[in-house]
Chains A and B, each alone.
Chain A
Amino acid sequence: MTTRLKSVDVVTIGVGWTGGIVAAELTKAGYHVVGLERGENRNTDPDFEIPQIHDELAYAVRHKFMQDAAKDTYTFRNDVEQTALPIRYLSGFLPGTGLGGAGVHWNGQTWRFLPWDFETRSATVKRYGEEKLNGATSQDWGITYEELEPSFDKFDYAAGIAGKAGNIKGTIQPGGNAFEGPRSREYPNPPMKTSYAGLLFREAAKKLGYHPFPQPSANVTRPYTNPDGAKFGACVYCGYCERFGCEMFAKSSPQLAVIPVAMKTGNYELRTGCNVTKINLDSTGKRAVSVTYVDGLGREFEQPAEMIFLTSFILNNVRLLLVSGVGKPYDPASGEGVIGRNYTYQMNTGGTYFFNNKAFNSFMGAGAMGVAVDDFNGDNFDHRDVDFVGGAYLLVGSTGARPIQYHPVPPGTPSWGAEWKKQVVKYYDRAIGINASGGVQAYRGNYLDLDPTYRDAYGLPLLRITFDWGPNELNQSKFMAEILKKIGKAINADIVAVAPRTGHYNSTIYQSTHNIGGAIMGSDPENSAVNKYLQSWDVHNVFVLGASAFPQNSAYNPTAMLCALAYWNVDNVIKNYVKHPGPLV
């Protein structure tokens, strides 16, 4: 039996960064918002308290904050000829669950996408010709960096981002990233300290003529109060960010930056342990009337709402659209349809550098502490002589060296035994890593749909992921590997271990949780699921937020991008939608 509840103004499906931003902005504007979160309620005090939070086994290895594959996972295959099989242990990527979502256990690497990223297709075709895309179905976003700048700025200040501006209103700033799009003002907080690894990389990069700068960070560098009065502490460089919560109130998260703002208004109602199974449409199919969800006691509810925001992890956003019949499913055979189209990911190419006589104290650090180089990103360099589009940013990230997962050994070392142990002991604190975080272009055969066989704990079909690397990614990796080798010489490492990625995408090896696309934004309902305001082309009171909206992936980490889009979306909803509900485009 389904209990029908009293109607509310707004429902968000999921309460992480995007759900939190929507809640804060709409409750401040006087609307009644219900946040439905499938996982548990959790907060700094007491859930991220020391000493328990510094438990590598529980959080980093056994994934305490992550989606439980026993209840819900995905099926995977490299191409349409294969039978997709369930990912029985989530390991290649780790969707979060619970209040704050991945915004609790992220590293805090906070990048604004390049102006070029928003016009990947048109800028590439214009400068190099169509063939440079290597068959990619990558698209323009239907929005420009310039339009979004105020929303990026809003996020930077709401989240207390630490960094050094490289371009303020068109004037290049020494010490920042000269390649970034113009920003309206400096970061709210100064950049993080520099590790020894970062220092060596900075010197080597300068020697090679590159332009190093401190990575923008959501690990807040001093006590900070955001414009809404939310308070943050200062990072202590404990080295437990990625996969952990922060005990210091210092890693910006929805719990710190936006959810308390919504709570303070009295207009916000958070319901945890509530898993949404469907968005219900009216008889025309053009308007959503409610969502159906199941709570922890197994009771089913129907929650009517005027506006419905999909604010869960991208894969779960796309699945809910498919099971609810919102938008036409994508068909790779015809190339038609939009839901599931342009699924992309992140291409990481890594180098490890071993030194016989240095001490890095690698266990010290913070998730977004690092020195970066953007010379090989986007269209920041001439692509005439390379066989790929886009690029990568290079980073020495000093994120901490928790020893179960971090104990690098030189190539050729056995995987166990006396020699392995000797090398682990020797190099645990004498090695650094440099990563080339690269973009991924979209292709016709990489997409998301519903699996015909496997189901989750609620009886819903699992989402099926069909994905493999394309020519742009493999060629990019080869190119970046050469750069990483060059840096090895400049940095005077004793042993350099660099290998480009080859072969098929492997779902078992952790590479990134930057799953992207499947409900992409654009200017044409034929090839995008949502318009430039993140509004469904088909059902005007459904808004689909998050990285599902990116038409392809930039080299950068997605959080700042998807948070800026959330501010952009909700500002336009308040300004233009609520008085005259209907299509915004």
Chain B
Amino acid sequence: MKKKLTKRIKALDIKTNYKKYITVLYVLLVMVPIMIGLSLSVGRTDDVVAKSIANILLLVLFVVFFIYDFRKKVAEDWGLVTMKVAERCYDEAVEDMKKAHSIKMVMSSDLAGMYKLIEETPCDSTCTYEVLMMNPYSEFAKFCKEDVALWAEKLETLAAHSSKNISIKHYSMPPVDNFILVDDNVVYIYPITQKLNDGRRMCKSFRGKKKGTKIYVDIFSRLWKNPIYGGRV
């Protein structure tokens, strides 16, 4: 009997569908009895009061079902504000970079696009750029599909001649996903391999000093301090 009951509870899959069950229970145990009560008290209750109570009940239902969503809670906790699949995915980052005081970047793929972003984005004169790029002489550079040495040289030239305050370090470890950290508050992530055949790729961004941004701030500072890979940091 106990086994059957446990099996039955497992089959209900409460962990996944709890919201559905809460809503059903709410309708059956709260809404329906109150509505019946209201309809039985016709004549004794003001019509507008009755309608208002019904309205409130529906509003609660609406909030439970649509506004409160555990998935939304996860996104909020992590500060995950954007997930999109796009061919051009730097546009949003540009807007934040224009107003930034500190920009930290990791460039491992799409080197031309990332270089263009640094070169062309107007920024405040006090803004500092910290750019981490793969070491063109590292054992991993040969695996990149782009000419790492060429873009490293271009970047060095840009840093030397541009009015922008650009610091560059080269890391020697397996490729790290491209990301841009703006003021340690917003991070745009462009995974290297999560790309469809038509060129569109997955882009994500975390905003605010929440879990997501903190992870990338941590990754950047570890790499910046120790760009030579020596086992897991």
- Tell me if chain B binds chain A: no
**Interface on A for B, CB 8 Å cutoff?**
none
